[in-house]
Amino acid sequence: MTSAAVPTPQPAAPEIPGTPETPGQTAPPRPRLRRSGTDRMLGGVSGGLAEHLGIDALLWRIGFVALTLAGGSGVLVYLALWVLMPPAPRGPQEQVSAVERQAERLHVALQGLSTGTQRG
């Protein structure tokens, strides 16, 4: 009698959310990083981060509040993201507030500075 080695089953790889099911399948593309037009309380920054990264907007808001209470940097980070993130597309009848117009002007100006420094 010869004893053959019994093959042991290999454990299945753990499933990671957002990864393709089969090797030939590609993951769906992420939405562009931009401020949210629907999930917004102030500027749509938390909603935009939530749409892009898949982390709930409430958790982003809690993070900004925690950073604000821990030293005030949450307000600065939020305002910086408000200016740096492009706005969501608007409908033809949607009104734009004065603060939103100012944020868009700053965004365009910073975008112009960054493209100007890349060319030179």
* pLDDT in the model for residue 9: 62
* pLDDT in the model for residue 94: 78
Compute the average pLDDT of residues 67-94: 90
Percent of the chain with pLDDT over 70: 76
* pLDDT in the model for residue 47: 94
* pLDDT in the model for residue 32: 87
State yes or no: pLDDT of 119 exceeds 80. Answer: no
State yes or no: pLDDT of 65 exceeds 90. Answer: yes
* pLDDT in the model for residue 30: 80
* pLDDT in the model for residue 27: 74
- The chain-wide mean pLDDT, for the chain, equals 81
* pLDDT in the model for residue 59: 96
**HEC assignment per residue over the chain:** CCCCCCCCCCCCCCCCCCCCCCCCCCCCCCCCCCCCCCCCCCCCHHHHHHHHHCCCHHHHHHHHHHHHHCCCHHHHHHHHHHHHCCCCCCCCCCCCCHHHHHHHHHHHHHHHHHHHHHHC
